[in-house]
Amino acid sequence: MRKPPKSKKARKQKRESEVEEIKVLNSWIESQKPDCGSNPMSLPPLPTKSPIGRLDSTPTFSRYAGTTSFHQLPISKRTKDALRRANFTHMTDIQRASLPHALCGRDILGAAKTGSGKTLAFVIPVVEKLHRERWNPEDGVGSIIISPTRELAAQTFDVLKWVGKYHNFSAGLLIGGRKDVQVEKERVNGLNILVCTPGRLLQHMDETPNFDCSQLQVLVLDEADRILDVGFKKTLNAIISQLPKRRQTLLFSATQTKSVQDLARLSLKDPEYLSVHEKSTRATPNHLQQTAVIVPLDQKIDMLWSFIKAHLNSRILVFLSTRKQVKFVFEAFKKLRPGIPLKCLHGKMKQEGRMGTYSQFHEKPSVLFSTDVASRGLDFNKAVDWVVQVDCPEDVASYIHRVGRTARYHSEGRSVLFLMPSEQKMLEKLDAARIPIQCIKANNKRLQPVSSLLSSLLVKYPDTLLGLAKRAFITYLKSIQNHKDKEIFDVSKLPLNEFSASMGLPMTPRIRSSNQKMKSKTAGELYPIGEPESSDMENGLEIPKEELDIGDLNDEEVDNDVLLTNEGTEEGTKIGDYVPATRLMEKRKLKLTIKKPVGTRTVFDDSCNPISPFAKMAGTIHASDPILLDELKDKKQKYYDKVREELKRSEPEDKILDHQRCNEKRRKEKMKRSRVNEGEEEQDDLSDSKDEYRPCKRVKNEKCKGKEGVRC
């Protein structure tokens, strides 16, 4: 943040000029209000109707719609200086369309292609709003920017630091995976702008004493369609319920939601729907060259290897659908040494590792294997040359975001999509969504097979690579089975034996699924099926997958955006949970934990100690207050019913565990008894001895080594 000018007089002058500037800005905002009648700058009156307002009408523009440079915008000098310093002089389409509206305080649904500068389109209004309101660090949280992934939140925070360079606000990055949550709790109340992931924000709302968002001015949802989808539903609802209704809300994404229900949840007020590239002939960046290659499943690894070998001087981002696949391909290829640095990124990595990989990737030619955790928003300094999708994305939106990691802003980029013959319908969907993609056949002559090399690797590393390969195989099948679009993703059409052989596996893992579609012919290990695990816990909270990161739900789970939603699995579609039996038991045990419901606020006493819910009730209710006492009884009753329900559900497992525990206890007691008897016999034998210390009879005992006078 900027240092104050040295002289007192200069400081005073500066303050006065700023006050004047704010007055001008505020009067401009006033003049932009719809009820300002004959003012030529005013927008037409907004119809009062549904929560989504003028969603489908043509966007309206103020007089600033024609401006192209940031300098012409009615924004503070501090922001202009910061933008100039960061070399941002001219606005992109989405910035030109949305900034005049956003600066007026309107709610916005902004849609524009990937890499078109949506971040600045919401960061500038956030900073400007607080500047105009003369927000101070003591005023608390004024703006919240929510991003679906930690890396994206960190990237947005960097942009905020640039734009807010000369302002005096305090801002904080609140993301999961950081150990310093206690430090965060101490500081969060002094922050004006929060850039966060949904899970961490809710954690602070629930657990941080006196965390207060009641003065919130602007709420931003970056990648809004992702944050509004089922995976984050509970968390987002809990967050929204704790925010004031009177606020400005900005939603941005390359694939914007128009769902009325979604928007109603956010209580938007007559939002402007600004989709700047809706009429464009293509939905993806103009400088992006897109290709699809038809590759049978069992040739995908060979094809990927051959591709990497042919592009040793490029930065290649490779998408695979599950964490285990990412790990397997990364570990196996690393051992095969292709001649280019390899990295991997997935949700189960430690936070430092994730951030390190993310920031190192663009430094030199390298290959980054990733799950969909890297598919949205990440800029990689415009350095990605190729995006390779080894596994077909689950829908068109996912495709757009993945390929959008290259060809950002004005830079060029190329993408390749590997499609199995059974997935060719995807091409029609892409075509219908205005995505120009050229489909070519693979040139098998240039293919460099690696299956035999992989086989020998699996023999050489049976403890690591072999297990990983099996898991990769299984989680891939599971991901295919979980996809909703059964027209494209049909697990029964997959050549399982050939696929398993291509990974170097000695035999195809035998799989049993609930609909019995995935039976492989060769007998191998049998992976039993369990019910899908629906959620995982972090600090007692249900965290949406991307926040803990995708796949934190279940160790074996697919690291895929949509598959791991808490509520995303259709009822009746039983999904095989291919976990070995022993692990299944461990997971079942976890289910016994009684969850703290999402968004349950912890209450603190005067010294900031958490108070248990019953203690709180007992403290606030007087015996003379029969109605409240009834309420209390009701609440207690409900709580006990819930616990009973939970216990009932876990009864069979409990019985087995109990049985095992009893057996173990009995065995230990028996051993103890026999040892005591043995000791007594010895005591009897030795009771005649006159020495205080006696030579040990058990010469083999390590402690005494049979020495005289040493107690055994």
Ligand X SMILES: Nc1ncnc2c1ncn2[C@@H]1O[C@H](COP(=O)(O)OP(=O)(O)OP(=O)(O)O)[C@@H](O)[C@H]1O
Positions 233 through 272 that interact with ligand X (CB under 6 A): 254
Alpha-carbon span 148 to 495, nearest angstrom: 35
Under the criterion CB under 6 A, does residue 116 sit at the interface with ligand X?
yes
Distance of closest approach, residue 48 Cβ to ligand X, in angstroms: 32
Instruction: Pick the binder of ligand X from 53, 110, 404, 509 (CB under 6 A).
Output: 404
Region from 83-91, 332-340, 391-399, 663-671 binding ligand X, contact rule CB under 6 A: 83-91
510-511 and 526-527 beta bridge pairing? parallel
φ and ψ at residue 304, rounded to 5 degrees: -65, -45
Region from 111-119, 237-245, 601-609, 626-634 binding ligand X, contact rule CB under 6 A: 111-119
Q: Which residue is nearest to ligand X (CB)?
A: 117
Region from 29-37, 89-97, 267-275, 676-684 binding ligand X, contact rule CB under 6 A: 89-97
Q: Which residues pair with 438 in a beta bridge?
A: 291
Distance of closest approach, residue 404 Cβ to ligand X, in angstroms: 5
Region from 11-19, 117-125, 336-344, 546-554 binding ligand X, contact rule CB under 6 A: 117-125
247 vs 408, beta carbon nearer ligand X = 408
Convert residues 33-72 into a mask of x (bound to ligand X by CB under 6 A) and - (unbound): ----------------------------------------
Instruction: Pick the binder of ligand X from 98, 119, 192, 235 (CB under 6 A).
Output: 119
Instruction: Pick the binder of ligand X from 408, 414, 471, 478 (CB under 6 A).
Output: 408
Q: Report the sign of the C-alpha dihedral through residues 201, 203, 207, 208, in that order.
A: negative
Distance of closest approach, residue 410 Cβ to ligand X, in angstroms: 8
3-state secondary structure of 356: helix
Alpha-carbon span 503 to 300, nearest angstrom: 10
92 vs 479, beta carbon nearer ligand X = 92
Instruction: Pick the binder of ligand X from 88, 232, 418, 527 (CB under 6 A).
Output: 88
Distance of closest approach, residue 99 Cβ to ligand X, in angstroms: 10
Q: Which uninterrupted H or E stretch holds 222? A: strand 218-222
Instruction: Pick the binder of ligand X from 118, 348, 478, 483 (CB under 6 A).
Output: 118
- Give me the helix-helix angle, 300-310 and 451-460, nearest 10°: 100
Distance of closest approach, residue 127 Cβ to ligand X, in angstroms: 15
Region from 109-117, 354-362, 389-397, 427-435 binding ligand X, contact rule CB under 6 A: 109-117
254 vs 397, beta carbon nearer ligand X = 254
Distance of closest approach, residue 43 Cβ to ligand X, in angstroms: 24
Tell me the two tokens of residue 634.
């009701």
Under the criterion CB under 6 A, does residue 382 sit at the interface with ligand X?
yes
Region from 41-49, 169-177, 376-384, 463-471 binding ligand X, contact rule CB under 6 A: 376-384
Tell me the two tokens of residue 170.
């305090």
Asked if residues 233 and 567 have their Cβ atoms less than 8 Å apart, the reply is: yes
Distance of closest approach, residue 93 Cβ to ligand X, in angstroms: 10
Region from 88-96, 183-191, 226-234, 520-528 binding ligand X, contact rule CB under 6 A: 88-96
- Which of 595, 590, 580 minimizes the C-alpha distance to 657? 590
Under the criterion CB under 6 A, does residue 120 sit at the interface with ligand X?
yes
> Locate tokens 């989709």: which residue?
275
The separation between CA 262 and the C-alpha centre of its own chain, rounded to angstroms, equals 19
Alpha-carbon span 363 to 256, nearest angstrom: 32
The 8-class DSSP code of residue 464 comes to I
Within 10 A of 99 (CB to CB), how many other CB atoms are there? 26
Instruction: Pick the binder of ligand X from 91, 130, 503, 558 (CB under 6 A).
Output: 91
Instruction: Pick the binder of ligand X from 115, 148, 393, 544 (CB under 6 A).
Output: 115
88 vs 273, beta carbon nearer ligand X = 88
Distance of closest approach, residue 379 Cβ to ligand X, in angstroms: 4
331 vs 394, beta carbon nearer ligand X = 394
164 vs 599, beta carbon nearer ligand X = 164
- Distances in Å between the alpha carbon of 173 and those of 1, 119, 126, 601, 605? 16, 16, 15, 21, 27
Under the criterion CB under 6 A, does residue 114 sit at the interface with ligand X?
yes
φ and ψ at residue 448, rounded to 5 degrees: -105, 100
Alpha-carbon span 705 to 695, nearest angstrom: 10
Distance of closest approach, residue 111 Cβ to ligand X, in angstroms: 9
120 vs 292, beta carbon nearer ligand X = 120
Instruction: Pick the binder of ligand X from 32, 62, 79, 92 (CB under 6 A).
Output: 92
Region from 12-20, 403-411, 535-543, 646-654 binding ligand X, contact rule CB under 6 A: 403-411
Instruction: Pick the binder of ligand X from 379, 394, 549, 556 (CB under 6 A).
Output: 379
Distance of closest approach, residue 216 Cβ to ligand X, in angstroms: 23
Size of interface with ligand X, in residues (CB under 6 A) = 20
Asked if residues 275 and 94 have their Cβ atoms less than 8 Å apart, the reply is: no
- Which of 519, 555, 509, 517 minimizes the C-alpha distance to 536? 555
- Which of 491, 472, 499 minimizes the C-alpha distance to 575? 491
The 8-class DSSP code of residue 219 comes to E
> Locate tokens 């600090």: which residue?
539
Region from 108-116, 293-301, 488-496, 550-558 binding ligand X, contact rule CB under 6 A: 108-116
Asked if residues 469 and 321 have their Cβ atoms less than 8 Å apart, the reply is: no
The set of residues, in sequence order, having a beta carbon less than 8 Å from that of 559 and lying 6+ positions away, is: 321, 322, 323, 326, 346, 347, 348, 371, 372, 373, 549, 550, 551
76 vs 92, beta carbon nearer ligand X = 92
- Which of 155, 153, 126 minimizes the C-alpha distance to 141? 126
3-state secondary structure of 189: helix
The 8-class DSSP code of residue 465 comes to I
88 vs 135, beta carbon nearer ligand X = 88
> Distance between the two ends of the chain, CA-based, in angstroms?
69
The set of residues, in sequence order, having a beta carbon less than 8 Å from that of 331 and lying 6+ positions away, is: 464, 465, 468
Task: Enumerate binding residues for ligand X (CB under 6 A).
Answer: 88, 90-92, 95, 112, 114-120, 254, 377, 379, 382, 404, 408-409
